[in-house]
Amino acid sequence: MFKKILGVTLGAMLASTSFATPFGYKDFSDAPAPYGSAEHESGDWQRLGAAYKVDDGVSWSTDGGSTFGHGALTLGESVTFKVDLYSHNIGGHITDPVRVWLDWNADGLWAADEMIFSDKYKKAHNDSGYWLKGTPDDPTPAGANPWNSRNWMNGQAGEWVKLEYVFSMIVPQAAMVGDTWLRARATCDASLGGEDWQRTWSDWTWDAKEGDINLMGPTGWLHQGEVEDYKVTLTKKIVQVPESSGVLLLLTGLALLVFRKKRSTK
């Protein structure tokens, strides 16, 4: 259904920056009923867009990517979506999945075939493939408990990585004209059945098992991440008959009427 034209494999990692993290904040969906709700317990490790509790992580363009916003979409036209994922590059899990759904038929739910994007960012890691506690990748500050070292920067100004995903698709001709809703979610694979564990006590080395991205649906509770909902207006293209063509049709109709009248007189 979608074509990804720019992603993490094409250099989607654009920048590293610092944010003050409000540790432990919760995020809730805001699409109206009958849409199902979504809830995230903590956005301390990944989120959509730069701001908390602000829908700023998804935008779209109908001019080939020159400008992005949240304008109306027309059935049959090409649209380019942009998803901004911010990932805190500290943690014991492996990936940060992100998914987007758009309710094309406006029936109040996001079906499996209405998922328009699915990808995951593999977090920075050391040569062993996993985080090491007390290393330059995951430093332990003086006096801190090494057990908590991989999370010590949360609640402070820490390093975040911004990833930008851009993909294009055609708005389905069969979509329902009117207002509908788009939902985007970001989380960590640990929220999807993944786990990490300490391999040895001597070097604080950690292993991890990646969670299943297929467990990430548009509704329900997830421990980490953020959810964003957007109202999307779908319109139908109006085909206007040129004025000159209208006059030609009128003259043709009149000529046909005169011709038929003459035939009936004969």
Q: What does the pLDDT look like over 76-120, one tens digit per residue?
A: 999 999 999 998 766 667 889 999 999 999 999 999 999 999 999
Taking a C-beta distance cutoff of 8 angstroms, is the pair 166, 85 a contact?
A: no
Distance (Å, whole) CA 184 – CA 151: 25
Helix (H) or strand (E) holding 227: strand 226-235
Q: Is residue 252 in a domain?
A: no
Q: Computed over its alpha carbons, how large is the radius of gyration of the chain?
A: 26
Q: Which token pair is 144?
A: 């801190």
Q: Which token pair is 266?
A: 């004969």
How much of the chain is in helix, strand and coil states, percent to nearest 5?
15, 40, 45
Q: Is residue 199 in a domain?
A: yes
Q: Is residue 245 in a domain?
A: no
Give the model's pLDDT for residue 262: 59
pLDDT in tens, the chain (266 residues): 433 333 333 234 444 444 444 455 789 999 999 999 999 988 878 889 988 788 999 999 999 999 999 999 999 999 999 999 998 766 667 889 999 999 999 999 999 999 999 999 987 554 333 343 444 444 444 544 443 334 434 334 356 788 999 999 999 999 999 999 999 999 999 899 988 776 665 655 666 788 999 999 999 999 999 999 999 999 998 876 565 556 566 667 666 665 565 555 55
For residues 12-27, b (16+ Cβ closer than 10 Å) or e, as one string?
beeeeeebebeeeeeb
Q: Is residue 211 in a domain?
A: yes
Domain, as residue range, for 57: 3-240
Taking a C-beta distance cutoff of 8 angstroms, is the pair 48, 228 a contact?
A: yes
For residues 87-120, b (16+ Cβ closer than 10 Å) or e, as one string?
bbbbbbbbbbbbbbbbbbeeeeebeeebbbbebb
Give the model's pLDDT for residue 23: 53
Q: Which token pair is 101?
A: 């759904």
Q: Is 104 helix (H, G, I), strand (E, B) or coil?
A: coil
Taking a C-beta distance cutoff of 8 angstroms, is the pair 44, 23 a contact?
A: yes
Q: Is residue 262 in a domain?
A: no
φ, ψ at 196 (rounded to 5°): -130, 155
CATH code, domain with 60: 2.60.40.10
Give the model's pLDDT for residue 42: 85
**What separation in angstroms does the CA of 108 have from each of 71, 79, 105, 217?**
20, 22, 8, 15
Q: Is residue 249 in a domain?
A: no
Q: Is residue 258 in a domain?
A: no
Q: Is residue 260 in a domain?
A: no
Closest Cα to residue 194, out of 92, 121, 44? 92
Domain count for the chain, please give it.
1
